[in-house]
Structure 1
Amino acid sequence: MHHGKYRFVTGFLAAPLALYTLFVIWPFLQAVYYSFTDWTGLSPEYAMVGLRNYERMLGDEVFWKSFQHSLVLVLLVPLVTLSLALFFAFMLNVGGRRRGAAVTGVRGSGFYKIVYFFPQVLSIAIVALLFQFAYSPNSGAINSGLRAVGLEWQPDWLGDPDWALWSVAAVLVWCTVGFFVVLFSAGMSSIPHDFYEAALLDGAGRATTFFRITLPLLWDTVRSGWIYMGILALGAEAFAVVHIMTVGPGGGGPDHSTTVLPLYVYAKAFRDGQAAYATTIGVALLVVTLAFAAVVLRLGRRERLEF
């Protein structure tokens, strides 16, 4: 009986595992292999060069700038995004009060969730273009608003190396916070209101109920969201926003002030014809992503709470 069960499970998983190996694991292994070659990506001919690409990467100033910018995004964007999403979701779902100790959501919370979620409906390319126009130093909506209130401080948001990366980070936060507002709202709706009402009867305020009830019971969701946001900040979302919004050869803003690792991989592979070196940077990006996920899982581990 058990032998038949194991044979059924093996047969059921064989096709998905084969496809996963073919389309996910095998490309990773190929990238690692090509990182030890001098392949240009334009010719089938290449030669093994050992660790030369890795030695070059460690001495590449632009790579370290890209690494620093990606590290800033992976630390800043998830922190700001998840903090704002938790605050908005908490206020929407348990911010209302009714009949003394009763806890309820604010009036119109469903409409607010739709408004917060709206950026998720837009393509990231459209969002990047809209903010590129908004950041325009002369005719953009942001500096026009500053002029309208009489402020002379009107920076060149995407042209100033001191502001370019922060401007990109703000776009990433704006276009992702709504998704987590809806996600955390769904999680909070499953928490019994009796918990909040008992805390209110004991004299607890909103801050206490959030840190003692809401956050511990949502911690697994928050931790998963942190990993997801980190992957976005290290991957396609950051690449798309930087590549579309910033100026300079191959993107990356003035003096590579917004160059991130995925954009540098793209530039080396498709602009400079250095596919082997691009795969080397890609391997480094893979290591950074896995390390980030491992650190979040390790530091975010806590005893599971059930209700």
Structure 2
Amino acid sequence: MQHGKYRFIIGFLAAPLALYAVFVIWPFIQSIYYSFTDWTGLSPEFSMVGFANYTKMFQDEVFWKSLQHSVVLLLVLPVITLGLALFFAFMINVGGRRRKGAAVGGVRGSGFYKIAYFFPQVLSIAIVAILFQFAYDPAQGMINGALRTVGLDGLQPNWLGDPGLALWCITAVLVWCTVGFFVVLFSAGMASIPRDFYEAALLDGASRVTTFFRITLPLLWDTVQSGWVYMGILALGAEAFAVVHIMSIGPGGPDYATTVLPLYVYQAAFRDGQAAYATTIGVALLVVTLAFAAVVMRLGRRERLEF
């Protein structure tokens, strides 16, 4: 009976694992292999060059700038996005004033706020990037226009043209277009927490802040941890690439101030015709992503709470 059960399980897993191996694992292996060659991406001919591409990468100033910018996004983006999402979700679900018949409830109009926060998710990331590119325009953009309206004519920076501001402007866009997803995700998690927990804590004199850190966050910790890993992958992946590629000057400028690893991979492969070197940078990106996920999962490990 047990033998038949395992054959049944293996039969169901064989096809998905085979597809995963072909479309996920095999491309990784190919990338690692090509990183030891001089393949241009334009010709089927190439030769092995050993660690020459890795030596070049470690001596490449643009690579280190790209890595630095990606690490900044990796550290800042999850903190801001998840922090705002937890705050908004808490206010929507249990942060409102006490009303008749309910000791715990969300702020008034919480249904509308859920829709408003989630709205950026229905827009293409390309559309979002283009809209904010116009908003950041120093001459005719909405942001500087608003500053002129309130009399702050002297405070009108060249948002995307200033090397000190460009990356932070792009970070703000990434926060705006991703925070709504986690508001809805955390709201669903908070809705499953029994209201008796909150009511008992409030009867004991606990404040809203205390209930958040003592009840909400511990019971949502698994969801927050998964969201942290997801945001790290997003900061190192296609979302960051798309926004930087569309919004930044160059793209990646000014003076490589917004170049991130995914963009540098694209530029090395399709602009410079150095596909092997691009795969080398891609291998470095893979290592950074796996290291980030491992650190988050290790540091965030705690005993599972059930209710």
How would you bin the TM-score normalised by the shorter chain? Answer: over 0.9
Q: Please state how far the C-alpha of 1:110 moved relative to its aligned partner.
A: 1.1
Query: CA–CA distance in 1 between the matches of 2:57 and 2:232?
Result: 23
Q: Which residue is equivalent to 1:117?
A: 118
Q: Which residue is equivalent to 1:30?
A: 30
Alignment of 1:57-68 (within 5 A): 57-68=57-68
| CA RMSD of superposed structures (Å) | 1.0
Query: CA–CA distance in 2 between the matches of 1:162 and 1:16?
Result: 46
Q: Kindly provide the amino acid, as one letter, of the partner of residue 114 in structure 2.
A: K
Query: CA–CA distance in 2 between the matches of 1:12 and 1:299?
Result: 34
Q: Please state how far the C-alpha of 1:100 moved relative to its aligned partner.
A: 8.8
Matched, 1:195 2:197: yes
Q: Please state how far the C-alpha of 1:99 moved relative to its aligned partner.
A: 3.9
1:203-250 CA deviation, whole Å, 9 max, x = no partner? 1111111111100110100000000011000000000000000111xx
Alignment of 1:89-100 (within 5 A): 89-96=89-96, 97-99=98-100
Query: CA–CA distance in 2 between the matches of 1:226 and 1:3?
Result: 40
Q: Which residue is equivalent to 1:225?
A: 227
Q: Kindly provide the amino acid, as one letter, of the partner of residue 74 in structure 1.
A: L
CA contact (8 A) 1:74 1:234 kept: yes
Unaligned runs of 5+ in 1: none
Q: Which residue is equivalent to 1:298?
A: 298
Q: Which residue is equivalent to 1:78?
A: 78
Q: Percent identity?
A: 81
1:88-115 CA deviation, whole Å, 9 max, x = no partner? 0001100121249711122221111001
Q: Kindly provide the amino acid, as one letter, of the partner of residue 199 in structure 1.
A: A
Query: CA–CA distance in 1 between the matches of 2:14 and 2:206?
Result: 54
Q: Kindly provide the amino acid, as one letter, of the partner of residue 129 in structure 2.
A: A
Matched, 1:278 2:278: yes
Q: Which residue is equivalent to 2:159?
A: 157
Q: Which residue is equivalent to 2:20?
A: 20
Alignment of 1:216-295 (within 5 A): 216-248=218-250, 251-295=251-295
Q: Secondary structure at the match of 1:210?
A: helix
Q: Kindly provide the amino acid, as one letter, of the partner of residue 118 in structure 1.
A: F
Q: Please state how far the C-alpha of 1:2 moved relative to its aligned partner.
A: 1.6
CA contact (8 A) 1:132 1:245 kept: yes
Q: Please state how far the C-alpha of 1:11 moved relative to its aligned partner.
A: 1.6
Query: CA–CA distance in 2 between the matches of 1:212 and 1:162?
Result: 39
Query: CA–CA distance in 2 between the matches of 1:195 and 1:29?
Result: 50
CA contact (8 A) 1:101 1:201 kept: no
Query: CA–CA distance in 1 between the matches of 2:191 and 2:27?
Result: 41
1:178-215 CA deviation, whole Å, 9 max, x = no partner? 00000000000011111111111111111111111100
CA contact (8 A) 1:101 1:200 kept: no
Distance 1:100 1:11, change over 3 A: closer
Q: Kindly provide the amino acid, as one letter, of the partner of residue 114 in structure 1.
A: I
Query: CA–CA distance in 1 between the matches of 2:58 and 2:175?
Result: 31
Query: CA–CA distance in 2 between the matches of 1:5 and 1:213?
Result: 41
Q: Which moved more, 1:149-158 or 1:56-65?
A: 149-158
CA contact (8 A) 1:158 1:246 kept: yes
Q: Which residue is equivalent to 1:108?
A: 109
Q: Which moved more, 1:5-14 or 1:23-32?
A: 5-14
Q: Which residue is equivalent to 1:56?
A: 56
Q: TM-score, with normalisation over the residues of structure 1?
A: 0.98
Q: Kindly provide the amino acid, as one letter, of the partner of residue 287 in structure 2.
A: V
Q: Secondary structure at the match of 1:102?
A: coil
Q: Kindly provide the amino acid, as one letter, of the partner of residue 143 in structure 1.
A: N
CA contact (8 A) 1:120 1:175 kept: yes
Q: Kindly provide the amino acid, as one letter, of the partner of residue 57 in structure 1.
A: M
Q: Which moved more, 1:148-157 or 1:162-171?
A: 148-157
Unaligned runs of 5+ in 2: none
Q: Kindly provide the amino acid, as one letter, of the partner of residue 90 in structure 1.
A: F
How many pairs align? Answer: 305
